[in-house]
Structure 1
Amino acid sequence: MTDTLEQGPPVLLDGAMGTELAERGFELRGPLFSARALLDAPELVEQIHWDYLCAGAQVLTTNSFGLHAASLAKAGVAERQAELARRSVEVLEQVRTRARARGSDMTRFRIAGSIPPRPPGGERALARAEYRAYADGLADAGVDLLLLETFTNVDAARLALEGLAGVELPVWLSVVAGLPTPGQSAPDGTRLISGDSFEDLGQLLRSETHRVPDALLINCTQIDAVPAALDALIRASAELELPLGFSPHLGRRRYDGVWIDRIIGPKVFAAQIQAWMKVRPRLIIAGACCGSRPDYIAAMQHSLMPSEAAREQAFVRLAQLLP
């Protein structure tokens, strides 16, 4: 095994928060789901972040997936968006303090502020304002980048990027591929799950009417749809010099329709990630989504950066992405 991929080791993201909360006994229920842990179990959120950091993650994502105004209003805490965004970052700063107290170089991780798609509907001007308020709350709290993640259609991504026009922080956009195909077990990875094409996404990215993202990823995409999705992502962004990445989820429906949270183990998953990246050198960011746990990130670190020198190379790449 070589120490790195030919193009150098990727930046390593973390894994699923909701999966880990549930695995550790926290009840995920609407309307806030995993974000409710910021209110009810912040110490558990901190421990999960810590475990991902110890597993090798270099970018940790705030537990803020669920802080849109509509969700907060349903939960009876409509006025607490900025407070909860700040709390999601404070938990991660506690993780940094914990690492510093141990004299560890793990303090070098960066913080990604998670922003999911808002519920559909409503006035477009209001939608843009909601995305901006969400982003401003995370930016004011001290995140290093804004991660628009799990976007399933191009128009929602357009609204978010329009709302973030003028934002100075780096913005990464992550979309979900894998259009369900009737009668087929594997979804169509060449399209977003809404049916939108990657060509439509590419046209959006070439527009100058909004905030252009600084990196483009796919996440929460079924494993057997990933190769086609990655190739479509690369083709759609061929004219753009955007860093690319991916964080697949690990689940799939069984033959009888029962959902299985994870269909492969950490070592097999990490080897598959490595194989996909080896033949696609534009992919320089990697992580895992739903169903993943810290041992999956640890296995990825072992496969993608098995030496200290390789890990240092990855931190250099991270500094280039997030100066």
Structure 2
Amino acid sequence: MRVATKTEAEASCGGLILLDGAMGTELAERGFELRPPLFSARALLDAPELVEQIHWDYLCAGAQVLTTNSFGLHAASLAAAGIGERQAELVRRSVQLIERVRARALAEQPAEPGPSSARFRIAGSIPPRVRAGERALGRAEYRAYANALITSGVDLLLLETFTNVDDARVALEGLVGVELPVWLSVVAGGTARSDGARLLGGDSFEDLAQLLRSETHRVPDALLINCTQIDAIPAALDAMIQASADVGLPLGLRPHLGRRRYDGVWIDRIVEPEVFAGQIQAWMRTRPQLIIAGACCGSRPDYIAATQRALMPSEAAREQAFVRLAELVP
């Protein structure tokens, strides 16, 4: 692969927004045991300082959006853990840990990460419900989840890792009237994981694009692909771009880095940080609709740091990115 020169990279990547990477992967790497039903969200109870440090490390790596560790806080998951009444408390804690990172960044000026990094945004993570069920109940649960995040002070809501259109529709129906930006992130890969032209649940991207054109629910303000096998990303990007061409939403990607080996063994990372960053840069350079990038399962802060070096090779490029972020998430 030809590597772009600094001048080419600055010209083609100005104003791109960098998200963070995986939380669960990093918790496990640092010795925290991920157990059902809460998985990474259990660290809010048992290891909040570790969660805060991981957020800090992603900020120092260059992330401009930090995602709350609230992925496991659906009512059903909490009920299964015997703490069903603690959703609002734990959502608030997930936001407070990131706010402590902001305070630390401001307190350490002019040391790294410096004042510009403290301008990051907080994305409130909302995953699909654990079990599909009655639609009115689903809408109410998504709204309660969103209200807890909004009350706690997030800057945007991130509906992430949705595998089919119907679940996304129910979530968006529950967010009618929400004024904060709402980003929708879906998993591509078809039933075989390698077919990027469809969502993991089998729906087409054209089916998904209908959600971007309807006024019966909260229309998302950005559309992303996440938790998608990296070799399925090109087909997924092209399908997403083609299906949403008439809508004009900001688009983005957060690939996961693992896959099953020939003998069935799961490999967490099939590419190294610089290779990953170069691939992200190439995809975004050839698809100008893409302005948001990050990483998903298998990633660590060094992947985000490498991606920042590729997408934002100068202080001017980083400032452009913060300007673009302020436009999308005031």
Give the alignment's TM-score, normalised by structure 1: 0.97
1:187 aligns with 2:194: yes
Residue from 187, 203, 223 that aligns with 1:176: 187
- 1:75, distance to aligned residue in structure 2 (A): 0.6
1:194 match: secondary structure: coil
- Counterpart in 2 of 1:249? 256
**Paired residue for 1:12?**
18
Match of 2:51 among 45, 50, 65: 45
Shift of 1:233: 0.5
Out of 234, 237, 240, the residue aligned to residue 244 of structure 2 is 237
Q: Which residue of 1 aligns with 2:129?
A: 118
For residues 209 and 288 of structure 2, the distance between their equivalents in structure 1, rounded to whole angstroms, comes to 19
Shift of 1:121: 2.7
Deviation at 1:7, TM superposition (A): 5.5
SS in 1 for 2:42: helix
Corresponding letter in the other structure for 2:59:
L
Contact 2:25 2:299 in 1 (8 A): yes
Task: Please give the alpha-carbon distance, in whole angstroms, between the structure 2 residues aligned to 1:44 and 1:7.
Answer: 33
After superposition, the C-alpha distances for 1:50-96 in whole angstroms (9 at most, x for unaligned) are: 00000000000000001000000001110111111100000001101
Looking at structure 2, the residues matched to 154 and 89 of structure 1 have their Cα atoms a distance apart, in angstroms, of: 28
Question: How many residues end up aligned between the 2 structures?
Answer: 319
**1:68-83 mapped onto 2 (5 Å cutoff):** 68-83=74-89
1:220 aligned counterpart, secondary structure: strand
In structure 2, list runs of 5 or more residues that go unmatched. none
> Does 2:175 match 1:164?
yes
1:5–1:278: 8 Å Cα contact kept in structure 2? no
Paired AA for residue 157 in structure 1:
A
Indicate the residue corresponding to 2:290 in structure 1: 283
Task: Decide whether the 8 Å contact of 2:19 with 2:64 is kept in 1.
Answer: yes
Cα contact 1:243–1:284 (8 A) shared by 2: yes
Q: In the alignment, residue 17 of structure 1 is paired with which amino acid?
A: M
What is the rounded CA distance, in whole Å, between the counterparts of 2:170 and 2:130 in structure 1? 12
Structure 1 counterpart SS, 2:217:
coil
Q: What's the TM-score once normalised by structure 2's chain length?
A: 0.95
Contiguous gaps of at least 5 residues in structure 1: none
Is the Cα–Cα contact under 8 Å of residues 229 and 255 in structure 2 kept in the other structure?
Answer: yes
Counterparts of 1:10 and 1:230, CA distance in 2: 16
Q: Is the 8 A contact 1:86 1:138 kept in 2?
A: yes
Which digits, 9 at most, give the CA deviation of each residue in 1:95-152, with x for residues without a partner? Answer: 0111111012121110000000002332110000000000000000000000000000
User: Partner amino acid for 1:119?
Assistant: V
CA displacement at 1:5 relative to structure 2: 4.6
> Matches of 1:5 and 1:81 in 2, distance apart?
45
Instruction: Give distance in 1, aligned partners of 2:197 and 2:306.
Output: 28
- The one-character-per-residue Cα deviations of 1:232-282 (angstroms, maximum 9, x if unpaired) are 000111110200000000001101011100000000000000000011000
Q: CA separation in 2, counterparts of 1:120 and 1:24?
A: 30
Q: Residue 32 of structure 1: which of 27, 38, 53 is its match? A: 38
Runs of 4+ aligned structure 1 residues displaced above 4 Å come to none
| Secondary structure in structure 2 of the residue aligned to 1:139 | helix
Which residue is 1:59 aligned to? 65
Q: Which residue of 1 aligns with 2:278?
A: 271
Q: Percent identity?
A: 79
**How far off is 1:17 after superposition?**
0.2
| Pairwise CA distance, 1:203 | 1.2
Are residue 207 (structure 1) and residue 218 (structure 2) matched?
no
